[in-house]
A and B are shown apart, each in its own frame.
Chain A
Amino acid sequence: MELSEAYLERYSRHILLQDVGVEGQEKLAAAKVLIVGAGGLGAPVALYLAAAGVGTIGILDHDLVELSNLQRQVVHFTKDIGAPKVDSAREKMLAINPELIVKTYQDYLCAANIHEIIAGYDFVVDGVDNFPTKFLINDACVMAGIPFSHGGILRFDGQTMTVLPGQSACYRCVFRTPPPPDAVPTCSQAGVLGAIAGMLGTIQATEALKYITGVGDLLTDTLLSFNAKAMTFRRVAIKRQPDCPVCGAQPTITKLVDAEQSVCDLKR
């Protein structure tokens, strides 16, 4: 296939990279990535993956844009208040890169729909704001063998890890069960410094691009956390656990159930 001049110019800074090149850019164009959550983390992920030329991007979020989102969810603008977040995100992604396919899912992720939604994606980015859904994404991706990036932020702190199912430690190898309801405050209760959403989301976007192009070493078997007040980054080595309930030798979690206090219960 002859690549157009516009294509080569748009992606020239990728193509110039020895590790990416023309071949890597073609892999990005053929790739399908699902972003779960069009909030603080999903916003930079959506913008950077769209800019990078990831050919098919799915984005899932049930919510509408609210005024309090705009302090950190940079894909949404003041004019978008009241609009579905997925539509707002899609509009900006296509404005950056009109040739993409952006699929929107204005829904919650739950046991009943996650398998169907994630099927066919090459990589999933977890940008959700609650523990039950983080565990659900982990379990479903492990069962389906789909690599994903876990990410979470609160106040001045962020943490992320990349999971290659069957190869590297999964989220449940590290954290067995969701914390009790209300044990960990949400962003809406505790607050979050807006820019750290960008710090963490861009790490997740980078991991997605690395996975697709095969460049470098993924953040697997490692939990990366940072504290923005001290601006310290810490890497903790983690290991796959043989007795992990989902990716271990004898898994006890073999089908998905919605945890208590799942976001699906929040449906009015």
Chain B
Amino acid sequence: MNMPMVADATRNLRGVSCPMNLVYTKVELAKLHSGQILEVILDDGAPVNNVPGSALKEGHTIISQEQLADSAWAVLIRKK
């Protein structure tokens, strides 16, 4: 079992398509300090297939991604 993580900020990006979901993810990450955690809610499909990978490429850490009841995904990102 993973330790439950508490996000420092959360952003609901349901209904926001690529690439603006990544733009908003980057905006939220820019507001945080290194090591803080952002939770983004991404739609299933292209959003969840792309945004976490892009955040990873920029050096952030993907802590977890979990599918919710409405098929959207809750993704926890630790800022680099």
Contacts and interface: CB of A to CB of B under 8 A. Distances in A.
Nearest to B22: A16
B19 to A, nearest CB: 6
Main secondary structure of the interface of A (DSSP, over half): helix
Interface residues of B, number: 10
Main secondary structure of the interface of B (DSSP, over half): helix
A7 to B, nearest CB: 10
B30 A16 contact: no
B20 A21 contact: no
A3 B23 CA distance: 12
Contacts, number: 25
Given A8-B20, A16-B23, A23 B58 contact: no
B30 A9 contact: no
Interface in B20-65: 20, 22-24, 26-27, 30, 57-58
Interface size bucket, A side?
A: 10 to 19
Contact of B20 (A12, A22, A23): A12
A10 B11 CA distance: 20
Given A16-B19, A16-B22, A18-B58, A8 B30 contact: no
Interface of B: 19-20, 22-24, 26-27, 30, 57-58
